[in-house]
Structure 1
Amino acid sequence: MQVSIPDKLYFKIGEVAQLTGVKPHVLRYWESEFRQIRPVKSQGKQRLYRRDDIEFVLNLKDILYGQGYTIAGAKKILAKQAGSEKAASSVNPEEAVELLRDIRRDLLQLRASLEP
């Protein structure tokens, strides 16, 4: 099933739950089990997920619920996926610099949105 993720930087846990069909308490549990899910937290301790987090949750949901793997099995599958992605992608320095600029811009936007 293809999920349409809105075009915005950050999503609250309730929005992620609605988009993915995964309950908030399950998302919080998955955060403790999978280091790939690391939402930033606002000053009010609100979890703010990025698009990559949502895509990871959707992939994880398919592995666990669709394919029937356990948490341990999912970790092995994800490790294999990460290994094949690293082998397939060789990042050149210019792309790395651009990625860091994007991250910096996102962080500055987040800081500006959190300031009173």
Structure 2
Amino acid sequence: MRLFRIGEVARQLGEQPHTLRHWERHFGCPHPRRGSFGERLYSEDDIALLRRIQHLLRVERLTLEQAKRLFVPRTSPERVRQVQRVLRALQLLVEPTTEGS
């Protein structure tokens, strides 16, 4: 898997490196790996998260706070809770009832 330095990612997205660091702090993700000198190393998944954030801010023209409310990374605790709620609801639908047994 190829990893990209912050400058490479910033160029791909047309943003400044400090902007990507700001988004990382504000949104709490992505969580890039760190190189031997502490430099950020982004995976393709990290870049995809940054593209989602960029879309909300630049295309949808949301404020940081509006975007943060809408942005739920796929692996966030909130996303896990959402999936668990859906699974519980589905289990209730498929479990046979015990009435009349």
TM-score by length of 1: 0.61
Aligned with 1:45: secondary structure? coil
Deviation at 1:37, TM superposition (A): 1.1
Partners of 2:52 and 2:73 lie apart in 1 by 14
Partners of 2:50 and 2:2 lie apart in 1 by 16
Task: Evaluate the alpha carbon distance shift between residue 44 and residue 80 of structure 1 in structure 2; reply closer, same or farther with a 3 A threshold.
Answer: closer
Determine which of 4, 9, 17 is the counterpart of 1:16: 9
Letter in 1 for 2:51: L
Partners of 1:61 and 1:30 lie apart in 2 by 9
> Stretches of 4+ moved more than 2 A in 1?
79-84
Partners of 2:23 and 2:68 lie apart in 1 by 11
Determine which of 10, 28, 31 is the counterpart of 1:35: 28
Deviation at 1:15, TM superposition (A): 0.8
Determine which of 34, 41, 46 is the counterpart of 2:39: 46
Letter in 2 for 1:11: F
2:72 is matched with which residue? Answer: 79
* 2:57 counterpart of 1:64: yes
Stretches of structure 2 lacking an aligned partner (at least 5 in a row): 88-101
Deviation at 1:79, TM superposition (A): 3.0
Partners of 1:79 and 1:13 lie apart in 2 by 22
- Between Structure 1 and Structure 2, whose CA radius of gyration is higher? 2
TM-score by length of 2: 0.69
Aligned length: 82
Letter in 2 for 1:39: P
Deviation at 1:73, TM superposition (A): 0.6
